[in-house]
Amino acid sequence: MDAPSTVDTLLSAADNALRALFAPPHAARQPTALPPAAALDPADRQHAAGLMRVNHSGEIAAQALYHGQALLARRPDTRQFLLQAAREEGDHLAWCFSRLEELGSRPSLLNPLWYAGSFAIGALAAAISDRLSLGFVVETEKQVEGHLASHLRSLPAADERSRAIVRTMQADEAGHAHQAQLAGASGLPAPVPQVMRAVSKVMTSTAYRV
């Protein structure tokens, strides 16, 4: 089979972006032990919605990162891993979107910005090497795991439905990091994780409100 042309590759990347940002997301599976939605008072509902909006934006960024990495991955097995991870993150995207609707809220208005920036980072890492690209997966998922752990502590006590979604997402993120490590991920240069944390802080604090 012939390799896809540059035009086909670019059209596929554009299609991925449009689907992630504007198409109604669909999940291939459901979170583990998902309980029914509990009644929340207005303040708790607003807070839970803010946290799930942050998580939704994080999944938009994850889609973009993996799509950018897969676009320029050198090895077919690396590309397949990244695309499979993106599909699993697509489930997370659908879960967060659905929960936002249940909470009477909406995704972040800045999601196109998060997608564009994360896609560029993923493509840049992949352009350098597959091992560095996989290293970004490891570090990203480690940071996301910590971020989700903080949400588990912060979600309203009665909101077990959101908590079940976050727990399942957290387990998937740990799995992605482990798989990337086994696939030969290299460590990132010392300043990079700190920069990633700073960027993530900007995104999470902004997406909570906007």
**Full DSSP string of 53-96:** HHHHHHHHHHHHHHHHHHHH-SSHHHHHHHHHHHHHHHHHHHHH
pLDDT in the model for residue 157? 95
Q: What is the pLDDT of residues 78-99, one digit of tens each?
A: 999 999 999 989 999 999 999 9
Q: Which of these, 137, 134, 158, 168, lies nearest to 55 by C-alpha position?
A: 168
In this structure, is residue 195 part of a structural domain?
yes
In this structure, is residue 172 part of a structural domain?
yes
How many separate helices (H) and strands (E) can be counted in the chain? Answer: 7, 0
In this structure, is residue 10 part of a structural domain?
no
User: Considering just the CA atoms, what is the radius of gyration of the chain in Å?
Assistant: 17
Neighbours of 191 (CB within 10 A): 8
| pTM score, whole prediction | 0.91
76 burial type by CB count under 10 A (0-12 exposed, 13-18 middle, 19+ buried): exposed
Residue 57 maps to which CATH number? 1.20.1260.10
Range of the domain at 76: 41-207
Residue 171 has pLDDT above 60, yes or no: yes
In this structure, is residue 129 part of a structural domain?
yes
CA distance 136 to 111: 20
In this structure, is residue 121 part of a structural domain?
yes
Q: What is the pLDDT of residues 2-59, one digit of tens each?
A: 455 566 666 777 777 877 887 788 898 999 889 999 999 999 999 999 999 999 999 9
Tally of domains in the chain: 1
In this structure, is residue 11 part of a structural domain?
no
- The full length of the chain comes to 210
In this structure, is residue 32 part of a structural domain?
no
Handedness of CA 176, 178, 184, 188 (dihedral sign): positive
In this structure, is residue 154 part of a structural domain?
yes
